[in-house]
Amino acid sequence: MAETPPDRAATPAEAEAEAVISLGGNVGDVRKTLARAIALLCEDGTVRLLARSSDYRTPPWGDENQPDFVNACILVATTLAPRALLARMQAVERTLGRDRTRERRWGPRTADLDLIDYDGRTIAEPDLVLPHLAALARAFVIVPLGEIAPDRILAGVPLREALGRLDVRGILRLEDAVR
Protein backbone atom coordinates (compact mmCIF):
# COMPACT_ATOMS: atom_id res chain seq x y z
CA MET A 1 0.00 0.00 0.00
CA ALA A 2 1.35 3.43 -0.89
CA GLU A 3 2.15 5.88 1.84
CA THR A 4 -0.23 8.78 2.25
CA PRO A 5 0.80 12.27 3.34
CA PRO A 6 -0.19 12.64 7.02
CA ASP A 7 -1.47 16.17 6.48
CA ARG A 8 -4.08 15.20 3.88
CA ALA A 9 -7.61 15.00 5.19
CA ALA A 10 -10.45 13.10 3.61
CA THR A 11 -11.22 14.40 0.12
CA PRO A 12 -14.60 16.06 -0.52
CA ALA A 13 -15.76 12.86 -2.23
CA GLU A 14 -14.77 10.87 0.85
CA ALA A 15 -16.22 13.49 3.24
CA GLU A 16 -14.96 11.63 6.29
CA ALA A 17 -12.25 9.12 7.08
CA GLU A 18 -12.71 6.29 9.57
CA ALA A 19 -10.18 6.07 12.36
CA VAL A 20 -9.53 3.68 15.24
CA ILE A 21 -8.46 5.17 18.56
CA SER A 22 -7.36 3.22 21.61
CA LEU A 23 -7.91 4.84 25.01
CA GLY A 24 -6.55 3.89 28.39
CA GLY A 25 -5.34 5.05 31.76
CA ASN A 26 -4.70 3.95 35.31
CA VAL A 27 -4.72 7.12 37.42
CA GLY A 28 -7.88 8.59 38.92
CA ASP A 29 -11.43 7.67 37.90
CA VAL A 30 -10.32 6.25 34.57
CA ARG A 31 -13.75 5.23 33.29
CA LYS A 32 -15.03 8.79 33.68
CA THR A 33 -11.80 10.10 32.18
CA LEU A 34 -12.23 7.90 29.08
CA ALA A 35 -15.83 9.08 28.67
CA ARG A 36 -14.66 12.69 28.98
CA ALA A 37 -11.86 12.07 26.46
CA ILE A 38 -14.40 10.86 23.92
CA ALA A 39 -16.65 13.86 24.57
CA LEU A 40 -13.71 16.25 24.15
CA LEU A 41 -12.62 14.57 20.91
CA CYS A 42 -16.11 14.95 19.47
CA GLU A 43 -17.08 18.37 20.81
CA ASP A 44 -16.45 20.48 17.68
CA GLY A 45 -17.98 18.12 15.11
CA THR A 46 -14.78 17.25 13.22
CA VAL A 47 -14.72 13.87 14.98
CA ARG A 48 -17.90 11.79 15.19
CA LEU A 49 -18.26 8.66 17.31
CA LEU A 50 -19.33 5.59 15.32
CA ALA A 51 -18.79 2.84 17.91
CA ARG A 52 -17.41 2.45 21.42
CA SER A 53 -16.21 -0.76 23.03
CA SER A 54 -16.86 -1.77 26.57
CA ASP A 55 -14.27 -0.78 29.12
CA TYR A 56 -11.76 -3.50 30.00
CA ARG A 57 -9.57 -3.87 33.06
CA THR A 58 -6.15 -4.91 31.77
CA PRO A 59 -2.81 -5.74 33.36
CA PRO A 60 -0.13 -3.07 32.93
CA TRP A 61 2.06 -3.51 29.88
CA GLY A 62 5.78 -2.76 29.81
CA ASP A 63 6.13 -1.72 33.46
CA GLU A 64 4.21 -4.18 35.61
CA ASN A 65 4.80 -2.33 38.91
CA GLN A 66 1.71 -0.12 38.72
CA PRO A 67 -2.09 -0.38 38.97
CA ASP A 68 -4.14 -2.13 36.31
CA PHE A 69 -5.34 -0.05 33.37
CA VAL A 70 -8.80 0.51 32.00
CA ASN A 71 -8.80 0.37 28.19
CA ALA A 72 -11.35 0.85 25.43
CA CYS A 73 -11.42 1.45 21.67
CA ILE A 74 -13.54 3.72 19.55
CA LEU A 75 -14.27 3.96 15.85
CA VAL A 76 -14.71 7.52 14.68
CA ALA A 77 -15.46 9.34 11.46
CA THR A 78 -13.37 12.47 11.03
CA THR A 79 -12.75 15.31 8.62
CA LEU A 80 -9.35 15.90 10.23
CA ALA A 81 -6.14 14.80 8.54
CA PRO A 82 -4.16 12.10 10.41
CA ARG A 83 -1.67 14.55 11.91
CA ALA A 84 -4.44 16.96 12.93
CA LEU A 85 -6.36 14.10 14.56
CA LEU A 86 -3.21 13.06 16.44
CA ALA A 87 -2.71 16.66 17.60
CA ARG A 88 -6.33 16.77 18.80
CA MET A 89 -5.83 13.51 20.71
CA GLN A 90 -2.67 14.84 22.38
CA ALA A 91 -4.47 18.07 23.33
CA VAL A 92 -7.21 15.98 24.95
CA GLU A 93 -4.56 14.03 26.88
CA ARG A 94 -3.09 17.30 28.18
CA THR A 95 -6.54 18.61 29.13
CA LEU A 96 -7.06 15.44 31.15
CA GLY A 97 -3.79 15.91 33.04
CA ARG A 98 -1.24 13.94 31.05
CA ASP A 99 2.24 15.46 31.04
CA ARG A 100 4.47 13.46 28.69
CA THR A 101 7.55 15.39 29.84
CA ARG A 102 7.20 14.13 33.43
CA GLU A 103 6.02 10.53 33.00
CA ARG A 104 8.09 7.42 32.63
CA ARG A 105 7.70 5.21 29.58
CA TRP A 106 4.84 2.72 30.01
CA GLY A 107 4.22 4.19 33.45
CA PRO A 108 1.01 5.36 35.14
CA ARG A 109 -1.06 7.96 33.32
CA THR A 110 -4.42 9.69 33.50
CA ALA A 111 -5.15 9.24 29.81
CA ASP A 112 -3.42 7.63 26.85
CA LEU A 113 -4.95 7.99 23.40
CA ASP A 114 -3.33 6.15 20.49
CA LEU A 115 -4.22 6.47 16.82
CA ILE A 116 -4.31 2.85 15.67
CA ASP A 117 -5.60 3.18 12.10
CA TYR A 118 -6.74 5.96 9.79
CA ASP A 119 -8.78 4.78 6.83
CA GLY A 120 -6.30 1.95 6.19
CA ARG A 121 -3.61 4.45 5.22
CA THR A 122 0.07 3.68 5.54
CA ILE A 123 2.19 6.47 7.04
CA ALA A 124 5.77 6.02 8.23
CA GLU A 125 7.25 9.10 9.86
CA PRO A 126 9.22 9.50 13.10
CA ASP A 127 6.22 10.88 15.01
CA LEU A 128 3.37 9.11 13.19
CA VAL A 129 3.26 5.49 12.05
CA LEU A 130 0.02 4.06 10.69
CA PRO A 131 -1.29 1.58 11.09
CA HIS A 132 0.02 1.34 14.65
CA LEU A 133 1.94 -1.91 14.18
CA ALA A 134 2.53 -2.50 17.89
CA ALA A 135 -1.25 -2.70 18.35
CA LEU A 136 -1.27 -6.21 16.90
CA ALA A 137 0.85 -7.39 19.84
CA ARG A 138 -1.26 -5.71 22.51
CA ALA A 139 -4.31 -7.52 23.81
CA PHE A 140 -5.47 -4.32 25.54
CA VAL A 141 -6.04 -2.88 22.06
CA ILE A 142 -7.14 -5.94 20.09
CA VAL A 143 -9.71 -7.24 22.61
CA PRO A 144 -11.75 -3.99 22.78
CA LEU A 145 -11.34 -3.35 19.05
CA GLY A 146 -12.47 -6.88 18.28
CA GLU A 147 -15.67 -6.22 20.22
CA ILE A 148 -16.72 -3.34 17.94
CA ALA A 149 -15.02 -4.33 14.67
CA PRO A 150 -14.43 -8.11 14.71
CA ASP A 151 -13.97 -8.33 10.94
CA ARG A 152 -11.50 -5.45 10.69
CA ILE A 153 -8.11 -6.03 9.12
CA LEU A 154 -5.18 -4.14 10.61
CA ALA A 155 -1.87 -4.01 8.75
CA GLY A 156 -3.06 -6.92 6.61
CA VAL A 157 -3.90 -9.08 9.63
CA PRO A 158 -7.51 -9.99 10.48
CA LEU A 159 -8.30 -9.05 14.09
CA ARG A 160 -9.57 -12.55 14.83
CA GLU A 161 -6.19 -13.94 13.78
CA ALA A 162 -4.30 -11.36 15.85
CA LEU A 163 -6.46 -12.13 18.87
CA GLY A 164 -5.70 -15.84 18.54
CA ARG A 165 -1.99 -15.09 18.97
CA LEU A 166 -2.35 -13.01 22.12
CA ASP A 167 -2.37 -13.83 25.81
CA VAL A 168 -5.68 -12.44 27.04
CA ARG A 169 -5.36 -13.67 30.63
CA GLY A 170 -6.11 -10.92 33.10
CA ILE A 171 -8.31 -8.93 30.73
CA LEU A 172 -11.76 -8.39 32.20
CA ARG A 173 -14.69 -6.73 30.46
CA LEU A 174 -16.25 -4.20 32.81
CA GLU A 175 -20.03 -3.94 32.83
CA ASP A 176 -21.88 -0.69 32.30
CA ALA A 177 -19.22 1.37 30.60
CA VAL A 178 -19.51 5.06 31.41
CA ARG A 179 -20.62 6.52 28.09
Answer whether residue 129 is part of any domain: yes
Answer whether residue 85 is part of any domain: yes
Answer whether residue 12 is part of any domain: no
Answer whether residue 108 is part of any domain: yes
- Summarised one tens digit per residue, pLDDT across range 140-179 is 999 999 999 999 999 999 999 999 999 999 999 997 645 5
Instruction: Give the CA distances from residue 59 to residues 69, 161, 167, in Å, rounded to whole numbers and listed in that order.
Output: 6, 21, 11
pTM: 0.87
Number of domains present in the structure of the chain: 1
Answer whether residue 83 is part of any domain: yes
Answer whether residue 6 is part of any domain: no
CATH number where 66 lies: 3.30.70.560
Q: Which domain holds residue 160?
A: 17-166
pLDDT exceeds cutoff 90 at 106: no
Answer whether residue 73 is part of any domain: yes
- Summarised one tens digit per residue, pLDDT across range 38-91 is 999 999 999 999 999 999 999 987 767 789 999 999 999 999 999 999 999 999
Catalytic residues: 98, 109, 112, 114
